[in-house]
Amino acid sequence: MQKGTISVQTENIFPIIKKFLYSDHEIFLRELVSNAVDATTKLKTLSSKGEVKGDLGDLTIAVSVDKDNKTITISDKGIGMSEEEVKKYLNQVAFSSASEFLDKYKDEANIIGHFGLGFYSAFMVASKVEVVTKSYREDAPAVVWECEGDPSYGISDSDKTARGTDVILHIADDSAEFLEKDRIENLLRKYCRFLPVAIQFGTRKETVYEEAEGEEDAKSKEVEVDNIINNTNPIWKKQATELKDEDYKQFYEELYPYSQAPMFWIHLNIDYPFNLTGVLYFPKLGNSFEIQRNKIQLYSNQVYVTDDVKEIVPEFLTLLHGVIDSPDIPLNVSRSYLQSDSNVKKITSYITRKVADRLQELFKNNREEYEAKWNDLAVFVKYGMITDEKFFEKAEKFALFKNVDGKLATFEEYREMIKPLQTDKHDRTIFIYTNSPKDHDSLIKACKTKGYDVLVLDTIIDNHFIQQLEYKEEKISFIRVDAETVDQLVQKDEQTESVLGEKEQEKVKSLFEKVASDPGNQVVLKPLSPEDAPVSITRSEFMRRMKEMQALQGSGMDGFPDSVTVVVNTNHPLVAGKLLKAKGEEAKEDLARYLYRLALLNHNMLKGEELTEFIQKTIAMVK
């Protein structure tokens, strides 16, 4: 056996590999199987050029576990290596590149753990590695290379007769988990499920039916077949013209078993100015904003890389599911580099444009179908408009607004519809909305009585969405139905006069300030229509939005007091008549308190002891 020392400064390589890759040391299997795939692919290329003669035979890569001997073996029938190539690639290139890489990135453990480090990642789990290899060149004898995780190595002759390479890992005691077959099979399915060369891991039982003259005579039996882990020709490697809807649905089920079927999908395929293929699916989101992260898988030439794609895909697109495959994304560099890399920026822009174009196409060609899907699309489209400038510009044409009657319209369509009645004295178009039609039922009815239209904006991101629209669009305001009285939303020239005199108004205000004395409350008298509520509660639109934003960000809300305005309608018969005519101060206060609590109840703001007293008072009145 030849012995030697690797010819670069490697004393620190193995400890660094162990230390910095430990949290993600399962990637060793991806790296070694990927190397086997590369060796097989190179053999196919040489064969296609006529440099390898004859039939290549079965090129399946085999992975096996021997628990008794504490080994894992990855065997390929690819190009193989000669002794000179072993010395070059295993002793010089691999370890020198390892040294350079670790010098450069040793402070970025997360990067080292995620991206392709190649052959030497074997030493994360192995105390000793053997490489038994025979070149496709018939005149090159087979050799064995051995290394025990230090700079020394040995090379000796081998009796291997078949072309290819066996990498044998002698698993270290602290990595014994990788000697469990289930663990290895799960890793192969995670990292290798779409590699372009068949990967075999043991065998499995399969039911087969023997041919017979009639159905009644047919017999079934179980046979042992190779357990092939991967789909070597996944859907994203095919042309969209080859595929039917059923193919896309089946692939989605393969990716996400037991999930609800997607609404539709986008097939990505571009080869200039970068290479990218993939399929992105639109899941049914409903009104939920719970981001299902890690649902888009990133591949590089069918090798699984990660499901953490936020550096490559705009944040709002992480709501989608599917696969992206691109050899042009630099995988062995820091995230800061990824964020500034021009190819990554082009890929991000391309995916955003393709998604927007697909939605625009569906809206334009089949608006009825698009509207039927809007409840599941709304959160996605709004989130995109909030977070991505380019998407906002495109989505303005297909983002929809839904009113309380369930009618849908684009922004421009809706603005034109409400302009005649919902434009204030400053020429601003007022968008009235509710985030809870049930809670605001009486207020919505009051708006509709006056001819106003009310939108439903009830998702968790609508607060941000309407602020984005107010910032982007000119002369518009969004105001919730409980923010102001309807007559304040759209200022009219004519003003209703109060039926009460000045002293009577002072008396009414004094009564309500007494019964509605909660901190932050303000009592305002207004001469509204006798058909309007006797007392109503309004809130500051600005303050309410600020509180909701704080709540969304998980902050406390103590900085924003829960102030409300108690609006007393001085023209209502109960105020102008019954209240002032009640006998005695106590009776007046009692009725004022009842009307105030009735207003609180209408806004779901009457709770606890006050609610109990109100119910008892109401029962007594009915009796």
- 490: confidence class by pLDDT, cuts 50, 70, 90: low
Give the best-scoring range by mean pLDDT among 61-65, 289-293, 526-530. 61-65
With a CB cutoff of 8 Å and minimum separation 6, the contacts of 19 are: none
Sheet with strand 143-147: strands edge to edge: 2-5, 152-157, 143-147, 126-134, 164-171, 71-76, 61-66, 199-210, 219-228
Confidence at residue 73, expressed as pLDDT on a 0 to 100 scale? 97
Per-residue pLDDT of 404-415, as tens digits, reads: 999 999 999 999
SS3 label, residue 244: coil
pLDDT band at 551 (very low <50, low <70, confident <90, very high): low
Tens digit of each residue's pLDDT (9 = 90 or more) over 293-307:
568 888 888 888 888
Question: What secondary structure does DSSP assign to 126-193, as a single string?
Answer: EEEEEEEEE-SSTTSPPEEEEE-SSSEEEEEE----SSEEEEEEEE-GGGGGGGSHHHHHHHHHHHST
At 57, is the pLDDT very low, low, confident or very high (cuts 50, 70, 90)? very high
Angle between helices 13-21 and 94-105 (to 10 degrees): 60
How many Å apart are CA 322 and CA 324, to the nearest integer? 7
Most confident of 4-8, 285-289, 305-309, 337-341: 305-309
pLDDT band at residue 341 under the 50/70/90 scheme: low
Q: How far is C-alpha 106 from the chain's CA centre?
A: 30
Which pLDDT value is given to residue 19?
54
Count other Cβ atoms within 10 Å, centred on residue 97.
Answer: 16
Contact yes or no for 161/134 (Cβ under 8 A) = yes
Half-sphere exposure of 412 (CA within 13 A, CB side): 4
What is the distance between the alpha carbons of residues 283 and 118, in angstroms, rounded to a whole number? 35
Rounded CA-CA distance 7/91 in Å is: 7
Fill in the amino acid letter for 275.
N
What is the average pLDDT value for the chain, to the nearest integer? Answer: 83
Query: Can you read off the two tokens belonging to residue 583?
Result: 């006998």
Is 50 exceeded by the pLDDT of residue 278?
Answer: yes
The larger pLDDT score, comparing residue 224 to residue 401, is at 401
Q: Which of the given ranges, 46-55, 98-107, 553-562, has the highest pLDDT on average?
A: 46-55
For the residues 339-353, what does the mean pLDDT come to?
78
The answer to whether domain 235-365 and domain 399-489 are alike in fold is no
Per DSSP, the residues of 409-464 read EEHHHHHHHHTTTSB-TTSPEEEEEES-TTTTHHHHHHHHHTT--EEE--STTHHH
Domain ranges in the chain are 2-202, 235-365, 399-489, 502-622
**Position 523 pLDDT exceeds 60:** yes
> Quick one: average pLDDT of 429-446?
90
Q: What local confidence, expressed as pLDDT, does residue 406 receive? A: 94
Per residue in 110-133, pLDDT (tens digit) is 333 333 357 878 888 999 999 999
Q: Are 533 and 599 in contact (CB under 8 A)?
A: yes
Ramachandran region of residue 118, left (φ > 0), alpha (ψ -120 to 50) or beta? left
Mean pLDDT of 578-604: 88
pLDDT band of residue 108 (cuts 50, 70, 90) is very low
Which of 566, 592, 567, 568 has the alpha carbon at shortest distance from 578?
592
The sheet carrying 535-539 orders its strands as 522-526, 564-569, 535-539
pLDDT reading at 96 higher than 60: no
User: Class assignment of domain 399-489?
Assistant: alpha beta
Q: Which of 105-114, 349-358, 516-525 has the lowest mean pLDDT?
A: 105-114
pLDDT (average), residues 584-588: 90
Domain 2-202, CATH = 3.30.565.10
CATH of 235-365, one of 3.30.230.80, 1.10.10.10, 3.40.640.10, 3.30.420.40: 3.30.230.80
Q: 16 φ, ψ to 5°? A: -65, -40
pLDDT at residue 93, as a whole number: 53
pLDDT recorded at residue 463: 87
The stretch 241-251 carries a mean pLDDT of 94
Share of the chain above pLDDT 90, in %: 40
Residue 59 has what pLDDT? 96
- The Cα 308–Cα 284 span in angstroms is 21
Q: Which CATH class is domain 502-622?
A: mainly alpha
User: What letters, b where the CB count within 10 A reaches 16 and e where it falls short, cover 490-524?
Assistant: beeeeebebebeeebbeebbebbeebbeeeebebe
pLDDT of residue 15: 59
Which of 306-320, 402-416, 453-467 is predicted with the least confidence, judged by mean pLDDT? 306-320
Q: Which two tokens stand for residue 387?
A: 């977070």
Radius of gyration over alpha carbons of the chain, in Å?
Answer: 36
The mean pLDDT value for 377-383 works out to 92
Residue 333 has pLDDT above 50, yes or no: no
Phi, psi of 277 (to 5 degrees): -130, 165
- Pairing verdict, β 429-434 and 476-480: parallel
Q: What is the mean pLDDT of residues 319-346?
A: 70
Cβ proximity of 610 and 597 under 8 Å? yes
Distance, in Å, from the CA atom of 183 to the CA atom of 188, rounded to the nearest integer, reads 9
